[in-house]
Amino acid sequence: MLNYKLIDSDSVFTELLVSWKKQNIASVAMDFEGEFNLHIYGEHLCLIQVFDGKEYYLIDPFKVSAEVLKTFMEDASLEKIMFDCASDSSLVRKQYGIIMEGVYDIRVLALALGYNGNLSGLVESYLPETSKQPMSNKKKNQMTNWLKRPLREEQVQYALSDVEHLFALRTLLDQEIAEKGLTQQVEQQMLTVGKSKGPDRPGWEKFSSWKYLSKEEKVYLKHFFLARDTLAQKYNVPAVRVLEKHLLLQMAKNVPAAEVDFLSYCGKTAPHRLQELMKTLKDAKSQAMSELQQ
């Protein structure tokens, strides 16, 4: 079992940052846990787990201000060793406007060496002597509600295990990268990790079939998507519980002509929300038609 310290205030976190500088600690292992439209509406940072090589820390973003989080994450002089930081960096960019600096993403090294799997597989390949979490426990904790407090000890240990081996993996992968003459390539790629490659795309453009849709289908999908998300946000529920993605796509391709046609898409909706959903979708259809006529 890994012991840890809880960071649950600005003052405690600031003291920790100062103590790292005094100790000349310039590199920490870091990972996030978040809520991604699983239990409530939207995406939310729920936990930051950090290992400085000696001590483990759990930083509670519900108790630490955005300003202090920004100071920490945008400090380029403090290296943050992570694995596959893309979704984490996107989360804090959207939620807090934070542009993460000083990130050393060991997935970049793994990809350069031909490995395209997850962190567990990487640990198993390079550190086979370490204990392995049962797959059932891993899946359970990936689906857990990280919004709730207090966290269960099982959740805590799962979260800490994601930073436990990052220092060791970094050392082993760095060595192999150097042996294969890939250091310069990796250093170049590392300059852009954690950075946006352009404006964040809206949700309706992230459908896998987006580029294959006609202009009309794209406009209808956008408005139906916005209608669904408006209600999901109002009720603070995952958007999929209002209407599943594949149904939005079907509606965009086969736009309901009458109210009964909308009903066929909304059959699984809770009765007390059915009329509001149908009205919202009909309004969305009208808005799409107006846009197409412009």
Do 5-190 and 203-293 come out as alike in CATH topology?
A: no
Strands (E), 52-111: 56-59, 79-82, 103-105
Q: Quick one: fold of 5-190?
A: Nucleotidyltransferase; domain 5 (3.30.420)
**Helix axes 66-73 and 86-96, enclosed angle (nearest 10):** 140
Distance, in Å, from the CA atom of 33 to the CA atom of 144, rounded to the nearest integer, reads 10
Q: Lowest-confidence range among 45-49, 264-268, 279-283?
A: 264-268
Q: Is the pLDDT confidence value at 267 over 60?
A: yes
Dump pLDDT digits (tens) for 57-91. Answer: 999 999 999 999 999 999 999 999 999 999 999 99
- Tell me if 173 sits within 8 A of 165, measured CB to CB: no
Q: What is the pLDDT of residue 245?
A: 94
- Tell me if 32 sits within 8 A of 48, measured CB to CB: yes
Q: What is the pLDDT of residue 200?
A: 84
Dump pLDDT digits (tens) for 161-182. Answer: 999 999 999 999 999 999 999 9
Rounded to an integer, the average pLDDT of 254-261 is 91
**Helix axes 153-164 and 135-142, enclosed angle (nearest 10):** 100
Domain ranges of the chain: 5-190, 203-293
Confidence of residue 130 (pLDDT cuts 50, 70, 90): confident
* Percent of the chain predicted with pLDDT > 70: 96
Please write down the long-range contacts of 153-162, taking CB distance under 8 Å and 24 or more positions apart: 156/4, 156/58, 157/1, 157/2, 158/133, 159/31, 159/33, 159/47, 159/49, 159/58, 160/2, 160/4, 160/49, 160/51, 160/56, 160/58, 161/2, 161/133, 162/31, 162/49, 162/83, 162/119
Confidence of residue 138 (pLDDT cuts 50, 70, 90): low
Is domain 203-293 annotated with CATH 1.10.486.10? no
Dump pLDDT digits (tens) for 198-234. Answer: 788 999 999 999 999 999 999 999 999 999 999 999 9
- Tell me if 104 sits within 8 A of 190, measured CB to CB: yes
Q: Is the pLDDT confidence value at 156 over 60?
A: yes
CA proximity to 164, closest of 87, 84, 56: 56
Q: What is the pLDDT of residue 199?
A: 81
Q: Which residue has the higher pLDDT, 69 or 130?
A: 69
- Tell me if 284 sits within 8 A of 224, measured CB to CB: yes
